[in-house]
A and B are shown apart, each in its own frame.
Chain A
């Protein structure tokens, strides 16, 4: 089943986008392609894009769902600014995605679906496959619907069921085009449809039919090969950010020997964390689907009061609802972790689209002086490490901690080097037990953390709550001096976390003309852009913050070693505002709020506008 070697061209990196109606299975096809490429040994990075509606009207523009996967023979940091190839399963998919395909790119169009009715739903007056509107693109027309139907005519399935398999035909065709094995997907089909062998067989058959069609139809003059990437040795799997988040929190339970209690109210794009953790009952994890966001954090606070790992998860609107209770956790100094997977706002905004617009909400979105610790993962796999980090900080410092992910990280995926469980950091937790001289608001000399004294401990009975606490005794106090002292103590406690977190690292020269500073999911685009600029000889370095409050101790020093600082963000300059306020640095911004990840190319352009000087590049 391989074409002759003359027909193969080797590429370093390919980005393809599967696009179709939300019922067409583009997500699934994309995930299978990703997995297969990863297993082969490519580096991979993905980004899904799907509508908030579960099923918008079939064939309509709002109903289009897509999945972009980039796979490469070298390390990559993003799913690619734009695809090289677009699979368009219907006219609406072509219409909504063509703008991202550069001229010269390839369109594989399911020509069967370019009917008058579908063209009209996509607002096409004439058929783009037949007029000259696609001039400059390579257009491959494949009657996917009918080829799939033909392949499965003897399957015994209904027409609707048969039609549902056409994504597998398209996937098979892509596997042929990029010389990929069908085996991982065939295994997946067997497992997925183990209870329905008829459907399993049909999916396998049409997958093979798609592959064979590529081999025999001579639609493509060549097919392509992207060799293995040179990744760090180890045992790998692909993982999405939300999966990694759930696994990280689960790991904390083992590392701290505490029970994990997760309470959450379903909200896009954070719901996956709840459904993942709900699968882990055999680990002793307790999960609760609460009646609302307020109840979810209330339950997490109650669990933390009881000595468990109190955890809640949400997205922007839910974080807003939780803010009063986060203040309670600040006042009661309980180690609650709030995982927030940001999405485009304000209000309900665009639930399935990404943004970084909740940094200031996380920092300041509460009444009173109410500091919390904030961490942010940089990549999907990094969600694992930062989930552990969030609890490590919360437990060591007895402080509520916000884990700030986003939709792009949560639903994006990349290879994850599976860690050695024994090599993960131990988290030592000590409960107070000594009744002699016990004070619920006594302070650890080093961290200023208060003791964690949990119900069930004889002799330590005490009362906590949202009213101001008397320093030490923890009883209610309304005196002026005490309140001011407590406000400073809580602030200083969070500030001292700095002694316990790593310095921010500079990628590139330690001094120079421009530092590109980022946080969260822009890591990939910033790293790619800065590497490109560095290769051009520009005096540019990058640094990425995974600790947002407090900032790493060396950040001020790092900023001072560059002439200019550029902060690209998917917001209107929230980190930039904090940096300017804290360090009096005249940082410039690059800010987009499109609901989509930043592109490497646009950051490079911004760098070009700021930097002219070349440096001597040491290879």
Chain B
């Protein structure tokens, strides 16, 4: 091995391809693409070591616009391709770009198993609560009652909560951000990229054509401070324009309280993303507007060996214990005989 060469300084431009970006004007995906391209030079990873893998859907076109290695695969299967690539080439930085239909409907199984294995991937789920590419059918995250072309009387499906699912699968990094808060988004993606193991990031992203305003009720700038709460490790759950509201845990119930009037910050829940037990993270993940502020930030981040690491270790151990394999010896395993 030669000494590592200093990396040439890269800029955002280095990660832009010559492909025309074909999302609808005003789509939330532009922001996610921009933040992702902006983040890449900060990672200090050679460009050729980065791979973006996607499934099918509007979000899944992102790899075409990233000047890295990329794979725009088939519906729902991005985590499987990413798993095969990462497990066989652990030195690569492998990103999965997916949407609510791709990850939670047709590819739900693969998402769960990637997370439970803790393979070292960053999975970014663009959640716009609608099927965009197929022109506006309800998705697994659409609210019940959603009227679309395929649910003219309103959808009767109960929606799934992506972060709850990720916590249920014991993902080692679970976070949520919104496409319109670029600062929060890039810092969340940066943390995800630094985490070893599966990093799951849900990004609320507006589809201005088929589901415009899906997140406005809590994510619109005017109301966001009062209707979302930013999770910060080691800090109390305080929110509100006046920083006068908070979340207090009463048993397993998250209560919204106002500080003052006998309630102090000391009574509020202190966010601990590293807790062994995922119960509190799950309680937080389930908070929804209007009953609660919607939590944004890192719900959970803890360490355990990743699938790709463990796979390498088993090979190393086998070689250490049994020596490197020899084909001729293996072929002659067991009873053999010679015909003269």
Contact = CB atoms under 8 A, between A and B. Distances in A.
B334 A283 contact: no
A324 B71 CA distance: 16
A237 B81 contact: no
A298 B339 contact: no
B325 A302 contact: no
B88 A283 contact: no
Given A236-B336, A250-B327, A282-B325, A294 B88 contact: no
Given A282-B323, A295-B110, A306 B89 contact: yes
Given A418-B332, A465-B71, A232 B81 contact: no
A467 B57 CA distance: 12
B82 interface: yes
A258 B71 CA distance: 21
A618 B93 CA distance: 68
A298 B80 contact: yes
Contacts of B70: 461-465
Contacts of A308: 88-89
Interface in A277-298: 280-286, 288, 290-292, 294-298
B83 interface: yes
Given A236-B339, A291-B113, A281 B318 contact: yes
Nearest to A418: B331
A325 interface: yes
A178 interface: no
A105 B244 CA distance: 94
B327 to A, nearest CB: 5
Please tell me the size bucket of the interface on A. Answer: 35 or more
A455 B89 CA distance: 9
A164 B122 CA distance: 52
A298 B77 contact: yes
Please tell me the size bucket of the interface on B. Answer: 35 or more
Contacts of B325: 280, 282-284
Interface in B234-266: none
A38 B337 contact: yes
A551 B142 CA distance: 51
A288 B66 CA distance: 29
Contact of A305 (B85, B328, B330, B335): B85
Given A231-B339, A328-B74, A254 B88 contact: no
Given A305-B84, A307-B89, 18 more contacts: A231-B339, A233-B340, A237-B334, A237-B335, A247-B330, A250-B330, A283-B324, A290-B113, A291-B112, A294-B110, A299-B81, A301-B81, A302-B83, A303-B87, A308-B88, A418-B332, A459-B48, A475-B64
20 contacts: A38-B337, A41-B337, A187-B335, A235-B332, A236-B339, A261-B88, A284-B325, A290-B113, A291-B112, A294-B77, A295-B110, A299-B84, A302-B84, A304-B84, A306-B89, A324-B74, A325-B77, A455-B69, A464-B70, A465-B73
Interface of B: 17, 19, 46-49, 51, 53, 56, 63-64, 66-74, 76-77, 79-89, 91-92, 109-110, 112-113, 311, 314-315, 317-319, 321-325, 327-328, 330-340
Which A-B residue pairs are the 3 nearest by beta carbons?
A298-B80, A302-B84, A465-B72
